[in-house]
Each structure stands twice: as structure tokens, then as C-alpha cells.
């Protein structure tokens, strides 16, 4: 008996676009008639790839096409891909919420999936009653829930309110309670769809820690879908990349993330000239292009980042300074770099297009950062483009410990420790 716990063969899901209404009855009858005659479904052959950026020509689309993979017991997999790649569809199929068009999913043991936290919660029922209801919906037996009741309430931190109707809860409490129930599911396979993106940062970390613990200590098999690459990398060892409904890559998580990021950044360029900006004089100066020039597509903690910024000066400008800053998601400005650190001031004598390359080492901890670019000159402020790009810094060698107690410091500061005494 091998270790394979999930086996997916030739899995596909087709959707029909547009309104389901008049016309569908004739399609149905046609399809039914073909089935009776033992022929293939006439509508299954027509179809396109699910690329949301193209306008569809036919009425049917393959959200997933021909997916094959095997997962072994105890593995933790990340499922990544652009929006529309088919991740949620794959999860829906695995969760039995909808049936595949072709193919099969085979698995052993119990499987639970969390497509959303708090499914089935009813406002009129108390927290306690909702724990029972939600737990039962997720597949737990009543006795099991009773055994874990105290643990669940404690994890959620809502002891005081456990007997109040849930409609009185704040949204944070609601989410914590919902997740607490889900976190105590006892199944062999757990499927998560970006549900960890709820709650405040400390709660998210708690959830991630619990998930990690289930995976490593209890040997559960986990499939995790998320856009948060840092979370995926911290939790998963293996990954799969979906693109336009097909499985583009299967493998170690770092390699898969790399492949995804390369594909995502279209040549690492950002067309600044199309972005909205603030500033008084956009006629004299115009930021045009931004390009990331790095050796690998993924940026890790402590890496040096190289960028090229291009701008247009329509008149001569004196004492021009071009700069950028990186902010975290709470809009704290953490890093700022300006041309003045190398060039003092740029004096533009002729109108034209200029481009500058910059190399810098942010030394920030792993997180998602927002890049803003701006410029000023002698007479004042020129332009400021907010959120022109996201820079995601990934953790280096992230293990379980990193995620349980991540550094509170924003900066990566290497430190050297030496023992001074021998314990007497």
C-alpha cells in the first residue's frame, strides 16, 4: 500500500458562459438525445482556455483541463496561480461542491475543506450553538465537538461571549470563532482556500502556526491555495502552479514560486506613463518607465534589488531629484532612495528621455511592500506616483520556527553573539 493519499486523474471542469435561460432547454434535449444514442456530448468538444484577458468566442470554457497529480500522505502543498488560473475551481472539485466534467479524484481517509470560514453560522444562535452547527457541517460528530469545545473557545478567545447570539459579535470575533472550529477539525486531508487571509496579523500567525503544527506533528496532508507567496512558502514544501486551467508545473515550492513570479511580471516592466500621479506640473516632467533587473525573479531577504527608471523632461530642469520609497501595508515608509545619494543634483540641460539604473539593498524582513516613485526639483514638487509596483520579499530558509515567532523587527539586522561565561 503506497503512501499516495490523493490521486487526481484527467480532471477537467467545463462551464457554460452567459445566461442560462432560453436556449438551454434545447441544448439539454440535444445533449440528452445524444446520451441516449450513446454518443459523446456534442458540447464538450467546443471550448477554450480560460484566459480572462481575452474576449471569449464560444459559449463554453474549460476552467480546468486535464489535471493529473498525486499527493502523498503528510505532504503540504501550495497551489498558486494568477486569478482565473483555476485554483478555486480545483478546490471546489476537491470539496465536492461541484462535480467534474471529466476525470476522477480518488482519496483515502477523511477530507475537509475550508473554502470560507463560518459557513452555516446563523446569527440567531449563540456562539456555543454555532460551534456545534458549524462543526457538524464540517463533518465532526457531536461527541467530538463536545470534547474539543473548551479548546475551541479558548483558541478563539471569546469565552465571555460564548452564550450570546452571534449576530452581536464583532466581525473579528466572528472570524476567530469560525476559524477556531475549523482549526480543530480532525481529518486526514485539509484543503484551505485563502481563508487564512482573514483576521488581524496576530491571529493569522496563530492560524498559520496551528496549520503548520497539524501538518508536521499530526501528519495531516494539507493543500493550501493562496496569493500570499510568503505564507505559501512558509507553510508548504511542495507546490503546483496552475495557469489558464492547466497544470503548468509541479515541484518543490521555491521552484514553483520562481516560475510563477517570472510568468507574472511581464518582463518585469511597469508602464509608469499610464499610471495616475499627483503633482502640479505634469507638463514639464513625466515619469515613464520602471523596470526590475534582477538575476532571479524572486527577491529574498537581504537581496540587492536593481531597477531602471525612465522619465521624460520636456523643458530643462534644475536640481532634479528622482527617488522612490518602499512602504509596508500599514503605510509606514521604511526605505527611501534618491538620485541625490550619487549625483547630488541632476541638472537637465536639454529636453528628452533619460533613464537611470539604481541598485539598493533594502534589508527588510519578508513581507509585501508598496513602491512609490516621485521627483522634485529646484522650484518644488514635480510628480509622485503611488503604488506603482509591489515588491514581495520572501523569507530565506523559512522553517516552522520562523512562522511561529517571526522577527518583530522590520529590518534584517545581522548580529553576532559570543558566550562570555560558562554558566557558573
Q: Using the minimum distance from each CB to another protein, give the nearer residue, 7 or 308.
A: 7
Which of 34, 95, 204, 386 touches another protein by CB under 8 A?
95
Neighbouring residues of 149: CB distance < 8 A, sequence distance ≥ 6: 128, 131
Task: Look at the alpha carbons of 146, 147, 150, 155 in this order and tell me if their dihedral is positive or negative.
Answer: negative
136 to 165, contacts with another protein by CB under 8 A?
Answer: 136-142
Q: Using the minimum distance from each CB to another protein, give the nearer residue, 140 or 190.
A: 140
Give min distance, CB of 403 to another protein, in A: 27
Which of 56, 74, 103, 310 touches another protein by CB under 8 A?
103
Which helix (H) or strand (E) segment is 393 a member of?
strand 380-394
x-or-dash string of contact with another protein, 262-301, rule CB under 8 A: ----------------------------------------
Give min distance, CB of 387 to another protein, in A: 32
Which of 47, 86, 100, 199 touches another protein by CB under 8 A?
100
Q: Using the minimum distance from each CB to another protein, give the nearer residue, 194 or 367.
A: 194
221 and 59 in contact (C-beta within 8 Å)?
Answer: no
Neighbouring residues of 319: CB distance < 8 A, sequence distance ≥ 6: 345, 346, 347, 377, 378
Q: Does 16 bind another protein (CB under 8 A)?
A: yes
Q: Does 36 bind another protein (CB under 8 A)?
A: no
Q: Does 24 bind another protein (CB under 8 A)?
A: yes
Q: Does 60 bind another protein (CB under 8 A)?
A: no
316 and 378 in contact (C-beta within 8 Å)?
Answer: no
Q: Does 124 bind another protein (CB under 8 A)?
A: yes
Q: How far apart are CA 49 and CA 418, in angstroms?
A: 59
Which of 61, 93, 261, 305 touches another protein by CB under 8 A?
93
Q: Using the minimum distance from each CB to another protein, give the nearer residue, 8 or 313.
A: 8
Neighbouring residues of 43: CB distance < 8 A, sequence distance ≥ 6: 16, 27, 31, 60
Q: In the structure grid, which three cell numbers stand for residue 401, read together?
A: 520556527
Neighbouring residues of 188: CB distance < 8 A, sequence distance ≥ 6: 5, 73, 108, 109, 110, 111, 220, 221
x-or-dash string of contact with another protein, 305-334, rule CB under 8 A: ------------------------------
Q: How far apart are CA 293 and CA 164, in angstroms?
A: 56
336 and 356 in contact (C-beta within 8 Å)?
Answer: no
Q: In the structure grid, which three cell numbers stand for residue 341, read together?
A: 545619494
Contact residues for another protein, defined by CB under 8 A: 1-2, 4, 7, 15-16, 20, 24-25, 28, 92-111, 113, 115-116, 119-120, 122, 124-125, 129, 132-133, 136-142
Amino acid at each position: 500500500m503506497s503512501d499516495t493519499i490523493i490521486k487526481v486523474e484527467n480532471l477537467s471542469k467545463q462551464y457554460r458562459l452567459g445566461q442560462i435561460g432560453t436556449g438551454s432547454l434545447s441544448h439539454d434535449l440535444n445533449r440528452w438525445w445524444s446520451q441516449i444514442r450513446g454518443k459523446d456530448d456534442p458540447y464538450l468538444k467546443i471550448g477554450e482556455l480560460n484566459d480572462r484577458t481575452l474576449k471569449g468566442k464560444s459559449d463554453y470554457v474549460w476552467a480546468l483541463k486535464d489535471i493529473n497529480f498525486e499527493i502523498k500522505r503528510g505532504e503540504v502543498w501550495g497551489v498558486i496561480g494568477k486569478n482565473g488560473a483555476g485554483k478555486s475551481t480545483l478546490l471546489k472539485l476537491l470539496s465536492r461542491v461541484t462535480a467534474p466534467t471529466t476525470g476522477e479524484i480518488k482519496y483515502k481517509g477523511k477530507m475537509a475543506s475550508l473554502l470560507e470560514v463560518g459557513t452555516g453560522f446563523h446569527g440567531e444562535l449563540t456562539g456555543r450553538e454555532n460551534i456545534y452547527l458549524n462543526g457538524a457541517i464540517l463533518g465532526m460528530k457531536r461527541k467530538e465537538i463536545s470534547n474539543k469545545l473548551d479548546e475551541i473557545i479558548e483558541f478563539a478567545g471569546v469565552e465571555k461571549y460564548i452564550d450570546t447570539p452571534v449576530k452581536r459579535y464583532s466581525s473579528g470575533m466572528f472570524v476567530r470563532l469560525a476559524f477556531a472550529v475549523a482549526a480543530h477539525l480532525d481529518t486526514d486531508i485539509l484543503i484551505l482556500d485563502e481563508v487564512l487571509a482573514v483576521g488581524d496579523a496576530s491571529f493569522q500567525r496563530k492560524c498559520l502556526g496551528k496549520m503548520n503544527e497539524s501538518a508536521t506533528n499530526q501528519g495531516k496532508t494539507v493543500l493550501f491555495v493562496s496569493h500570499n507567496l510568503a505564507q505559501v512558502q512558509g507553510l508548504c514544501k511542495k507546490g503546483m502552479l496552475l495557469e489558464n486551467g492547466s497544470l503548468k508545473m509541479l515541484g518543490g515550492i521555491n521552484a514553483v514560486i520562481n516560475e510563477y513570479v517570472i510568468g507574472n511580471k511581464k518582463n518585469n516592466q511597469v508602464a509608469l506613463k499610464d499610471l495616475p500621479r499627483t503633482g502640479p506640473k505634469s507638463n514639464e516632467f513625466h515619469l515613464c518607465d520602471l523596470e526590475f533587473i534582477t538575476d532571479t525573479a524572486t527577491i529574498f531577504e537581504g537581496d540587492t534589488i536593481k531597477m531602471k527608471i525612465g522619465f521624460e523632461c520636456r523643458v530643462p530642469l534644475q536640481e532634479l531629484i528622482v527617488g522612490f520609497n518602499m512602504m509596508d501595508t500599514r503605510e509606514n515608509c521604511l526605505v527611501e532612495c534618491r538620485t541625490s545619494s550619487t549625483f547630488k543634483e541632476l541638472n537637465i540641460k536639454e529636453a528628452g528621455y533619460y533613464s537611470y539604473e539604481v541598485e539598493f539593498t533594502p534589508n527588510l524582513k519578508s513581507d509585501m511592500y508598496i513602491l512609490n516613485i516621485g521627483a522634485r526639483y529646484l522650484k518644488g514638487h514635480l510628480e509622485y506616483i503611488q503604488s506603482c509596483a509591489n515588491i514581495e520579499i520572501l523569507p530565506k530558509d523559512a522553517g516552522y520556527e520562523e512562522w511561529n515567532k517571526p522577527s518583530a523587527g522590520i529590518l534584517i539586522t545581522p548580529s553576532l553573539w559570543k558566550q562570555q561565561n560558562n554558566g557558573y
